[in-house]
Structure 1
Amino acid sequence: MAILWDVLEQVVWDKEVEVSQRKARAPLQRVAESTQRAPLPRDIASAAATEGSPRSSSRSRRHRPPGTPQEPLQPGRDHASLREERRGLLEHPD
């Protein structure tokens, strides 16, 4: 157990040294100022339309309760048809 404790102490010590070195290289005020100058994030359409710049892609994920079979994802479906489908699931037959 003493060896494990020594290893953990070394990890903590190394991390404290690393953090203090990073703080010395980039004070918090300078980091905060650089975030203010950074460009705003782009939506996927404007990222794809811009030539010569890094492009990104999005991934669609849906939450579902565990054990529920998952239907295939159709990202192009319109929201109105999805709303109607969900509304039908919420109605209780009497």
Structure 2
Amino acid sequence: MSPMAQMLPSLLQSLSTDVPATWPSTGFTFMRVPSLAQNDRGGDCGPISLKFIELHSHQLTLPLQHLTQKQVDSIRMHYAMDLYGEYVSFS
């Protein structure tokens, strides 16, 4: 997350002239929410983000606090099987 937070202000300023002058030139700061599951492995950001969106849309915040790596592995497998079934297997 740190490289993205450092790069984002410069990227946005290069793409738009309507960037607030109050934005830091050295990068944004960020803070992780300690009570939520953390993305500790590369490649898990997509499945975790989608699961967060799904649970949050149903106002289910408690499962977000207890999401395990094993559950993330299962989520990734289900997404992979859904994609395979949609685009390859059932043609």
TM-score strictly above 0.5: no
Name the TM tier (shorter chain). under 0.3
TM (norm. structure 2) is 0.25
TM (norm. structure 1) is 0.24
